[in-house]
A and B are shown apart, each in its own frame.
Chain A
Amino acid sequence: MIGPLKLFGQDPAALREMARTWWARPLAGALMADRPQLQELVLAVKGIDEQRVMGRLFPRTRVGQMPPSWQARLAAASQQLFCAPVDAMDEDEGFARAFAPYCVEGAWAPVILFERKPLRNASPNRKGDRRFIVSTEWIGVAQCKDADSPPEKLRRKRLLATPLDPQVEALLDGIEALDQLDRLSAAMLSLLDKLRYSHSDRYLREAAGILQARLEELD
């Protein structure tokens, strides 16, 4: 057994990023490679219940339509790429946390657009090289904040309901400060490196922005 497909990430944004780069984009690439006329695909999501969300790829002009031929194509691509059925993510808590904020009652909600872009420097001599790359664009409209989505609320409730040893509870402030130190020190380490070793303005600005955001969280 090789275990179920599962997203990893500490927050819904990280989970969405993983779903995009490791799951949906390779799947879109395989479907496009299989059908040269396919130019655009959309990942759309739909809530199953409070704890589960399903996501499927559709041609851009046919979001929500799942004729048997397309279903079979999706299933084959998923099996070939990930050794898993196309609905493997439906049961994953991470997938629900990632996309529940984008779900619309009773309808498929488009979240990511995938476009075939020609690859100019593809090597024509290497057998099987793809002549295109798959670009991605977020098109989802969040219906609520990540923290307010049902799976996120359920998860928080579950974690907070876990009883802690009273002695540990007393130390929780210090342990929480230790967690905050991890985040702060990582951002400081990064900015110090940029300041010291004259990175470009862009990287300096980015690292300063991340540190400032962490400091504002702490304030």
Chain B
Amino acid sequence: MRLHGGRSSELRAHYLRWEFAPIAAELFRQSPRWASVTLAVAQYWCDEAHDAVHTVIIPSEHVNPGWPTPELRAEEGDDEAAVAVADDANAARWAARQSLWGHRVGPFYGDNYDLIVAFAAYCLPGCHQEMDYSQAYRPYAIARRGPDASMEMEIVGRMVQPEWEDRFLKPSRAGDRPDLPLPTPRTERLRAGESISPEDLLASLESPARLAQGIALGWRLVDAARRQLSGEASADQELYAQVERWLRTLELSP
């Protein structure tokens, strides 16, 4: 399962409405003790993916839990009671996933892909796994129990790495996934009343020429793949280097 959307904001809206909100609602249903549920996000550079964005969902007994939430602070301080509460919360979260999607562990393998595009702009740079959650993660949204089984949601995240917004091809392992979402075409965004960035305007002057180069290289790459599949030829390093140079002109690093 992957997130859908053609802008980072749409991927976030998808995640909030289709994953976070149902889990928060399920946590509220399961236990009256939770007054709020916080969604926090972190970007890591030192795990298996080299680049990944992870999310964490933390229920709290407090309506305004702040960050770190009192429960997280107590847990990181090795307060045994808090650790037990955190275990309960985790169990509740897995149970919520189970009732939603039939899997205890989320069937979402997007941490190395979609979630980077969605949330990296809201993550602190340079985090690593030796850091506590309270240091590495930043809160993005808080769901609060409303009247009559309703729910209120507040976005509390602040953009701290704007250069990551809408960078669909940026994830370091983009090559792994040909079905990664692509940005909504700029032409469509223009017609829908959005403006175009000065960078894109400048790039558009050169884009027809770059496209022509890309098409020629693309056919050669398809041909190289065919020959490799049929065993007629082995790796063509010179062609790969040419393609890599072309990708670099688009600021894409293979």
Which A residues form the contact surface with B (CB < 8 A)?
A: 1-3, 5-10, 14-15, 17-18, 21-23, 25-26, 29-30, 33, 80-83, 126-130, 132-134, 159-160, 162, 164, 168, 171-196, 201, 204-208, 210-212, 214-215, 218-219
Contact = CB atoms under 8 A, between A and B. Distances in A.
Contact of B221 (A18, A30, A128, A192): A192
13 contacts: A22-B1, A22-B14, A25-B101, A29-B101, A80-B99, A159-B191, A175-B207, A176-B187, A187-B218, A192-B243, A193-B175, A195-B224, A196-B235
B247 A185 contact: yes
A7 B4 contact: yes
Give chain A's interface secondary structure class: helix
B37 to A, nearest CB: 12
Interface of B: 1, 3-6, 10-11, 13-14, 16-18, 21-22, 25-26, 29, 95, 98-102, 104, 143, 150-153, 168-169, 174-178, 180-188, 190-193, 196, 200-201, 203-208, 210-211, 214-215, 217-219, 221-222, 224-226, 228-229, 235, 240, 243-244, 246-247, 250, 252, 254
A193 B187 contact: no
A215 B221 CA distance: 11
A184 B104 CA distance: 37
A97 B102 CA distance: 28
Given A3-B17, A182-B168, A194 B175 contact: yes
Nearest to A191: B221
Contacts of A30: 99-100
A194 B5 CA distance: 25
